[in-house]
Structure 1
Amino acid sequence: MQWMRPYETTCVHAEADVRVGGRFRVIMRAPDGEDHDVSGQYLEVVPDTRLVFTWAWRSTPERESLVTVMLRAEGNATELTLRHERFFDETTRDAHEGGWSSALDHLVEQFRRP
């Protein structure tokens, strides 16, 4: 809940059953009060290495896309590579690029806090 959101939103609900076939759901609230509800299913779970899951907004469930997160040890750090694909159109793809970038910035901030 601390990082899985674009900068301008707050995460008001997050749940995850991280196993193949398990599901996740995240609800983010925009400054205007509108909720953005996304969920999906885990297709691949390799601890400390790889997560693959579907991604669909409650408002457009027919537009399911695919997210792959890869992790690789880099000395005392971890390299994270995120690939989000199978978008409905380029506009949707471009909007997600900004959302993921700011969410990952939040993740980095979590590790920098004392």
Structure 2
Amino acid sequence: MTGRPVTTTLWRPTGPAELGLVRELRWRAWPPRLPEQPIFYPVLNEDYAIRIARDWNVERDGASFVTRFEVDSAFLSRYPVRQAGGRTILELWVPAEDLDAFNAHIVGRIQVVHEFR
């Protein structure tokens, strides 16, 4: 019997432009990184994603969104968890060249769970 793989929930603070590209990809993938973005970094907890979206991105972009999505846990094990500040400020650093493989391991759809303006 084959079932759904074990997944890890990730969050990503997302600006309006990136969210538009995710919509074009039918909520199933993240767009390629820009040349000045060598790393794709989803975060491991919702509170951290909310803080980035609400406290940093709204001022820059006028709006920001927190997305939630599931990724095959076995695939994610190749990326170490990075502590970007306090003990709950955790990120995965996915090299831009790995993004196609990362996207192929998203289970289900990317969902918008918070919006800030």
Normalised TM-score (structure 2): 0.25
Q: Which has the higher contact order (CA 8 A, sep 6+)?
A: 2
More helix by share: 2
More strand by share: 1
